[in-house]
């Protein structure tokens, strides 16, 4: 990937170190942390050989981009954070922490997992505000087992 796109830089974060630490260096820099809406350590549902709960270090998306990636313009960000996307969505709004940090994201690809009632309300509120802001165009590329991509 780096030889095909030498001007492209790639950063990845995942609480699962197994395999990721081996394959990420081929394309970029890997951080063994979870990214979401808060900073701290949380009990999270992660996939290693099977899905299981474990304590993982979390950083919010603004902290990750500011302190780890250290870039103010992100061409594309891909997010798949196992239901933690719902509380993270406000970071993407015009008055969200990313905007307050002057971080510009050009394109967001996100997997939105099948919501419960509370998550559905969070997503609907986020969607309504997005439509008012006219900052993003939402598209659904596929739906797999209730997840939207």
Which pLDDT value is given to residue 1? 64
Percent of the chain with pLDDT over 70: 91
Kindly state whether residue 81 falls inside one of the protein's structural domains. yes
Q: What residues contact 47, with CB distance under 8 A and at least 6 apart?
A: 16
- What pLDDT does 149 receive? 55
Residue 108 placed within a domain = yes
pLDDT of res. 142: 65
Does residue 99 lie within any of the structural domains? yes
Picking from 96, 118, 114, the residue whose alpha carbon sits closest to that of residue 105 is 96
pLDDT digits (tens, 9 = 90+) for 87-143: 999 999 999 999 999 999 999 988 888 889 999 999 999 999 999 999 888 777 666
- Domain membership of residue 6 (yes or no) is no
Number of domains in the chain: 1
Q: Which of 77, 88, 94, 99 is nearest to 123 (CA)?
A: 88
Q: What is the pTM of this model?
A: 0.83
Domain that holds residue 28: 11-135
DSSP 8-state code for residue 112 = B
Quick check: is 4 in a domain?
A: no
Residue 143 lies in a domain: no
Identify whether 5 is part of a domain: no
> Contacts for 97-101 with beta carbons within 8 Å, 24 or more apart?
97/60, 97/61, 97/62, 98/61, 98/62, 98/65, 100/62, 101/62, 101/65, 101/66, 101/72
pLDDT of residue 143: 63
Residues whose CB is less than 8 angstroms from the CB of residue 50 and which lie 6 or more positions away in sequence, other chains included: none
- Please say if the pLDDT value at position 145 is more than 70: no
Q: pLDDT tens for residues 56-71?
A: 899 999 999 999 999 9
Given a cut of 80, whether residue 73 has pLDDT beyond it is yes
CA 2 from chain centre, in angstroms, equals: 22
Helix (H, G, I), strand (E, B) or coil at 104: strand
Percent of the chain with pLDDT over 90: 48
Residue whose structure tokens are 């940090």:
101
């Amino acid at each position: 990937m780096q030889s095909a796109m030498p001007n492209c830089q790639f950063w990845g974060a995942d609480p699962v170190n197994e395999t990721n630490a081996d394959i990420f260096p081929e394309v970029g820099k890997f951080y063994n942390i979870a990214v979401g809406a808060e900073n701290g350590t949380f009990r999270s549902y992660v996939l290693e050989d099977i899905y299981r709960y474990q304590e993982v270090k979390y950083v919010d998306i603004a902290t990750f981009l500011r302190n780890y990636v250290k870039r103010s313009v992100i061409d594309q960000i891909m997010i798949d954070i196992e239901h933690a996307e719902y509380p993270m969505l406000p970071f993407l709004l015009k008055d969200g922490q990313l905007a307050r940090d002057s971080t510009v994201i050009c394109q967001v690809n996100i997997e939105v997992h099948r919501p419960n009632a509370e998550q559905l309300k969070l997503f609907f509120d986020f969607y309504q505000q997005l439509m008012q802001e006219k900052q993003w165009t939402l598209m659904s590329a596929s739906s797999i087992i209730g997840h939207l991509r």
